[in-house]
């Protein structure tokens, strides 16, 4: 367990919890502990779904600007690789992931939320990529993941201006998927994660892989990725269980083996 980032596991759900008050600034230490937690969540078979959570007051208000302000170009070249790869480790978790967003999710915090499959936000949430106001641009996926999620025009609006969006606008543009009362964010994320954790793990993994890899290629290649993932599931025990349960009892009643 890290000092500033913890992986907590209960009932098939792992919570990657950031714990660097007051704003969960994403220092190099936090980045490396995020990577370690993501890799542990990936490797632990009992973790079937993951919630990324910054606590009841703030998700993460961005990079540790004080830490990086004095870095040279060479230092930033070296450190930027670690920042990007630590977030990519979250994106690469082969299980459903949900960002539980309270308060600010700005800069690197927004980029971390973008690494998750789904985002649940409190109605007090503020999201944005304000790096342009520091004379830089997003450097941990903002120009790429945000564009793929909300489209190029909306991404350019947010990145060019550095403005924050509230929860209502974030929902309207597809930046978040659900808005609830701030006190309900974590419970809502846990409930959704628990529902997903009860699903067929290899089918969920295949669905995530097909969607994520398909976004990176042309349609014909994406369809081939989907076909291979689809046919591969016929080697799993859960496929047999699911089809037999459907024939005997109707949909949604299978009890999965996880194999």
Positions marked catalytic? 63, 108, 111, 131
Which residues lie closer than 8 Å to 110 by C-beta, 6 or more apart? 62, 127, 128, 129, 142, 146
Q: For CA atoms 45, 84, 130, 69, give the dihedral sign.
A: positive
Cα separation, 221 vs 94, whole angstroms? 20
Cα separation, 178 vs 194, whole angstroms? 16
CA dihedral of 53, 58, 61, 66, whole degrees rounded to 10: -100
Q: How would DSSP label each residue in 107-143?
A: THHHHHHHTSSEEEEETT-EEE-GGGGGT----SSHH
- Cβ proximity of 30 and 108 under 8 Å: no
Nearest to 27 by CA among 57, 66, 54: 66
CA dihedral of 33, 171, 167, 30, whole degrees rounded to 10: 10
Cα separation, 78 vs 81, whole angstroms? 6
Cα separation, 124 vs 147, whole angstroms? 24
- Cβ proximity of 92 and 161 under 8 Å: no
């Amino acid at each position: 367990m890290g000092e500033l980032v913890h992986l907590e596991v209960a009932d098939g759900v792992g919570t990657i919890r950031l714990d660097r008050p007051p704003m969960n600034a994403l220092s190099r230490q936090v980045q490396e502990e995020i990577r370690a937690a993501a890799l542990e969540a990936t490797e632990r078979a009992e973790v079937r779904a993951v919630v990324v959570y910054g606590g009841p007051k703030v998700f993460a208000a961005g990079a540790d600007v004080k830490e990086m302000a004095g870095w040279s170009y060479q230092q930033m070249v070296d450190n930027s690789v670690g920042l990007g790869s630590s977030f990519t480790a979250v994106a690469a978790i082969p299980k459903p992931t949900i960002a539980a967003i309270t308060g600010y999710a700005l800069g690197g915090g927004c980029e971390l939320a973008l690494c998750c499959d789904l985002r649940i936000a409190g109605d007090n949430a503020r999201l944005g990529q304000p790096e342009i106001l520091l004379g830089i641009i997003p450097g941990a996926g903002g120009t790429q993941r945000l564009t793929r999620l909300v489209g190029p025009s909306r991404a350019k609006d947010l990145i060019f201006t550095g403005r924050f969006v509230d929860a209502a606008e974030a929902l309207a543009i597809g930046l978040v998927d659900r808005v609830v009362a701030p006190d309900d964010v974590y419970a809502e994320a846990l409930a959704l994660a628990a529902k997903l954790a009860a699903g067929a793990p290899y089918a969920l993994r295949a669905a995530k892989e097909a969607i994520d890899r398909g976004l990176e290629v042309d349609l014909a290649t994406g369809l081939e990725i989907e076909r291979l993932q689809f046919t591969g599931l016929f080697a799993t025990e859960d496929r047999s269980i699911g089809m037999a349960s459907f024939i005997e009892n109707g949909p949604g009643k299978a009890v999965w083996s996880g194999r």
